[in-house]
Structure 1
Amino acid sequence: MLAKVFPIHLEPGNQARAEELVRRFADRGPAREDGTLSFRVYRDPRTPGYLLFVEHFADRAAYDAHTGSAAYKELIAGELADLIVEFVEIDHEMVVGL
């Protein structure tokens, strides 16, 4: 399993727009992808302009299919990317899971 975490800082004033794009993407992309095991996006109510993506994929091929999809290219690499100031991509390996 491949776990990806992305802390994302947005341009000021774009929280609502970014959340709307993520919701649209979830329905068109991850919800339909067999290899996407979970796709969760969190906001910090005390920190406007911030999202935290936490995603789990069956393997690297599933992640590559996810990021190669038309929905990803349009909504994440396209529209959402224009709202991002900074993001970090962090790979994780599970140690314990309950």
Structure 2
Amino acid sequence: MLAKVFPIPLKAGKQAEAEAIVLEFAPKGPGAEDGTLSFRVYRDPARQDYLLFVEHFADQAAYDAHTGSAAYKELIAGRFANLIVEFVEIDHEQLVAI
């Protein structure tokens, strides 16, 4: 399994717009992908203009399919990318799951 974490600072005042794009993307992208095991996006109530993505994929090929999808290209690499300050991708290896 491949785990990805993306702490995403947003441009000032873009929280609602970014959340709307993520809500539109979820069923069209990860919700329709066999290799996407989980797609979770969190907001921090104490920090405005910030989202945390936590995603799990069956393997690298599943992640590549995810980022190569039409929905990803339009909504995330397209519209969402214009709202972020910085893109940070952190790979993790699972130690334990219950």
Given the two structures, how large is their TM-score scaled by the length of structure 1? Answer: 0.99
Q: What residue ranges of structure 2 are gaps of 5+ in the alignment? A: none
1:13-92 pair list within 5 angstroms: 13-92=13-92
**2:47 aligned counterpart, secondary structure:** coil
Deviation (angstroms), 1:87: 2.3
CA distance, structure 2, for counterparts of residue 64 and residue 45 of structure 1: 31
Report the TM-score, using the length of structure 2 for normalisation. 0.99
CA distance in 2, matches of 1:3, 1:15: 24
Q: CA separation in 2, counterparts of 1:85 and 1:56?
A: 24
- Cα offset for 1:83? 0.3
Deviation at 1:86, TM superposition (A): 1.0
How many residues are treated as equivalent by the alignment? 98
User: How much has 1:27 moved relative to structure 2?
Assistant: 1.1
Structure 1 segments unaligned to the other structure (5+ residues): none
RMSD over equivalenced CA pairs, Å = 0.4
1:35-73 CA-partner distances (Å, limit 9, x unpaired): 000000000011000000000000000000000000000
Q: Which amino acid aligns with 2:37?
A: L
**C-alpha distance in structure 2 between counterparts of 1:71 and 1:10, whole Å:** 20
Secondary structure at 1:11 match in 2: coil
Distance 1:55 1:66 in 2: 11
